[in-house]
């Protein structure tokens, strides 16, 4: 009863979709909060917006690199719990 999925694991697209939805929602909330203030213009919103995109991109890059490194390990090592940096 096993399903052939090739190299793609089932449920792999949901975290990406969730990440994108949370990113868009967070940036929209930031934009609405800044634009709701009468003394803040669109120019004052650009820097926090770009900062949020930069942070989200950095997090996505770190997660992708970690997943790629973990996938390159043999299955016996891949499924072992991480105990941190050895002394």
Is 20 among the domain residues? yes
Is 51 among the domain residues? yes
Domain of 58, in residue numbers? 16-73
Residue 71 Cα distances to 17, 38, 79, angstroms: 21, 50, 10
In total, how many domains does the chain have?
1
Is 31 among the domain residues? yes
Q: Which long-range contacts (CB under 8 A, 24 or more apart) does 26-33 make?
A: 26/52, 27/52, 27/53
Is 4 among the domain residues? no
Is 8 among the domain residues? no
Whether the predicted pLDDT of 6 surpasses 60: no
The string of pLDDT tens digits covering residues 24-76 is 888 788 778 777 877 876 677 777 778 878 888 888 889 889 888 888 888 87
Rounded to 10 degrees, the C-alpha dihedral 71/75/79/82 comes to -70
Is 84 among the domain residues? no
């Amino acid at each position: 009863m096993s399903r052939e999925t090739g190299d793609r694991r089932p449920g792999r697209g949901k975290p990406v979709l969730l990440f994108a939805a949370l990113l868009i929602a967070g940036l929209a909330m930031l934009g609405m909060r800044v634009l709701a203030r009468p003394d803040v213009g669109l120019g004052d919103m650009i820097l926090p917006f770009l900062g949020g995109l930069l942070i989200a991109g950095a997090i996505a890059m770190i997660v992708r690199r970690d997943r790629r490194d973990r996938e390159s390990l043999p299955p016996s090592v891949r499924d072992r719990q991480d105990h941190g940096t050895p002394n």
